[in-house]
């Protein structure tokens, strides 16, 4: 039987902790990525990766959660500019919710998607700090509500 818990160092000398099932399937890995950033992964008893916590390619923090079939369902991390982002997807990988910072620097941005992945609701802030609401249909037709007279 393979050891269930191993602590030591990886091939590069970085600290390493692994937890395995009694069948030898890796369940938890805590150590360093190939880029030598901190990394934590959690897998199911079938070996499917479920959780990744580490760094993205720009060295910002990243958390991804997958369904039992391996489909990404949650992404929490940072854009290339360093602004926070959150994406929630369906079990098939279709976008459901996107939240983050507006690319123009005016504040937040929220977008909701229908079951086929089209953006049908948007909430954001305009250049003056006022709220903006958009609601549309699956064809991309809709209306934007802005405060004012």
- Choice between 102 and 41, residue whose per-residue pLDDT is larger: 41
pTM value is 0.83
Domain parsing of the chain, residue ranges: 1-55, 67-149
**What CA–CA distance (Å, rounded) separates 73 from 64?**
8
Query: What local confidence, expressed as pLDDT, does residue 95 receive?
Result: 93
Query: What local confidence, expressed as pLDDT, does residue 36 receive?
Result: 82
Q: What is the pLDDT of residues 56-90, one digit of tens each?
A: 888 889 999 999 999 999 999 988 788 899 999 99
The candidate with the shortest Cα–Cα distance to 101, out of 133, 79, 76, is 79
Cα 26–chain centre separation = 22
Q: What is the pLDDT of residues 5-45, one digit of tens each?
A: 889 887 777 888 999 999 989 999 999 887 788 899 999 99
What average pLDDT does this structure show over 76-105?
90
Domain at 67-149: CATH code: 3.90.930.1
């Amino acid at each position: 039987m393979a050891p269930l818990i191993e602590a030591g160092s990886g091939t590069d000398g970085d600290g390493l902790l692994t937890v395995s099932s009694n069948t030898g399937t890796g369940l938890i890995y805590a150590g360093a990525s190939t880029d030598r950033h901190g990394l934590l992964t959690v897998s199911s008893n079938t070996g499917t990766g479920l959780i990744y916590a580490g760094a993205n390619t720009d060295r910002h923090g990243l958390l991804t959660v997958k369904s039992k079939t391996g489909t990404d369902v949650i992404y929490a991390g940072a854009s290339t500019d360093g602004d926070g982002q959150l994406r929630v997807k369906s079990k098939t990988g279709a976008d459901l919710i996107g939240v983050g910072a507006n690319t123009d620097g005016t504040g937040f941005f929220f977008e909701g998607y229908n079951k086929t992945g089209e953006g049908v609701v948007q909430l954001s802030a305009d250049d003056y700090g006022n709220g903006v609401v958009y609601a549309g249909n699956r064809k991309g037709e809709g209306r934007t509500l802005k405060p004012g007279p």
